[in-house]
Amino acid sequence: MVHLRIVVPGAKSERVVGLLEASPSVSSLARIEGASRKPRGDLVLCDVAREDASVVIDDLRELGIPAEGSISIEEIDSQLSTAAERAERAAAGSPGDAVVWEEVEARTSESIELNANFLAFMVLACLIASVGVMTGQPILIVGAMVVGPEFGPLAGLSVALVQRRPDLGLRSLAAQAVGFPVGITGAFLFSLLAKWTGLVESGFVLGDLPLTAFISEPSNFSFIVAFFAGVAGVLSLTSAKSGALIGVLISVTTIPAAAAIGVAAAFGDWADWRGAIAQLAINLSTIVVAGVATLWVQNRVYERRRERHHAARSRAAAGLPTEQRGSR
């Protein structure tokens, strides 16, 4: 279940309450008249089955609530309520498969901000990965993948392409366009320091270490793994499965490949430098393709649900048109 806290202008309270009261997937509906002072209006609280959350929120948007009031969305971890169980049964589908698109947009917006923390994590991830590359230690490669924040902008770009959000897409591209060069530069400078101080022999060749040579040697499996990981990453984003997202970061070689570019350049290993660039390009592009494909399928499922909902009795109760039509 999803909890909605809605601030409603007094003139629209009856329509909002009518909409929610007539919706079989809504429970625990409460209205507190005059509770909101800024903006002035009523406070309406309710719980909605996760499967119908975006559909109900779309109706509230159609009523103009976000423009004149507000809608806050909260996940309910545990709830004991027979009425809530009935509401969940009334909503078609499985809660685990449901996508609350407003949550997805909020998560991606937060994770694509180009700020000092994002750049710091990119540099730290590439530094850890560069040590793993130079020492041939896969455990450090795994650690770098977990630290790296690069999946956020990749997911944001996928969402932007599916929902046709150029603003979100430009912010995602900016984060990647700045983040990766900064991380690669950090790995390059650190590798130069390691070379000059004798921590690593000046004749180091990345491909000579069998446990990490794959980073600069793209193959058919590079595309396959990146595609599977992109699908899993988007599913973890839309279903809030953070554990799965960590698994994706471990599976993909974006950060290690970026670090390998810096390391290879520092040691003049141009063959591996070109291989690492190819590996990074394959992974970045394939993850986006997989993300777009996954989100497109999920969005089509939502659009069909929304189209069916346009004939619902709850819309009539709120004075909204009930003809069958498209969405988003």
Q: Of 60-74, 127-141, 243-257, which gets the smallest average pLDDT?
A: 243-257
| CATH architecture label of 2-98 | 2-Layer Sandwich (3.30)
Rounded to 5 degrees, what are φ and ψ at 318?
-95, 0
- Give Cβ neighbours of residue 204 (< 8 Å, ≥ 6 apart): 134, 195, 267, 269
* Higher pLDDT, residue 322 or 54: 54
Mean pLDDT of 110-133: 91
Mean pLDDT of 190-211: 87
pLDDT interval class at 248 (50, 70, 90): low
Mean pLDDT of 49-66: 91
The continuous run of DSSP H or E covering 28 comes out as strand 26-37
Q: Of 68-77, 211-220, 292-301, which gets the smallest average pLDDT?
A: 211-220
Question: Is this model's pTM higher than 0.85 or not?
Answer: no
Residue 33, token pair as written in the block? 């008249």
Mean pLDDT of 153-157: 90
What are the pLDDT digits (tens) for 164-173? 889 999 999 9
pLDDT interval class at 240 (50, 70, 90): low
- 14 alpha-carbon distance from chain centroid: 35
* pLDDT for 324: 53
Packing angle, helices 13-22 and 53-62, rounded to 10: 150
3-state secondary structure of 150: coil
Mean pLDDT of 237-247: 64
What integer best gives the mean pLDDT of the chain? 87
Q: How far apart (Å, rounded) are the C-alpha atoms in residues 221 and 224?
A: 5
Report the percentage of the chain scoring pLDDT > 90. Answer: 48
3-state secondary structure of 217: coil
Tracing tokens 């070379």 back to the chain, one arrives at: 195
* pLDDT for 65: 93
* pLDDT for 310: 76
Alpha-carbon dihedral 128, 130, 133, 137, rounded to 10 degrees? -20
Report the percentage of the chain scoring pLDDT > 70. Answer: 94
* pLDDT for 244: 53
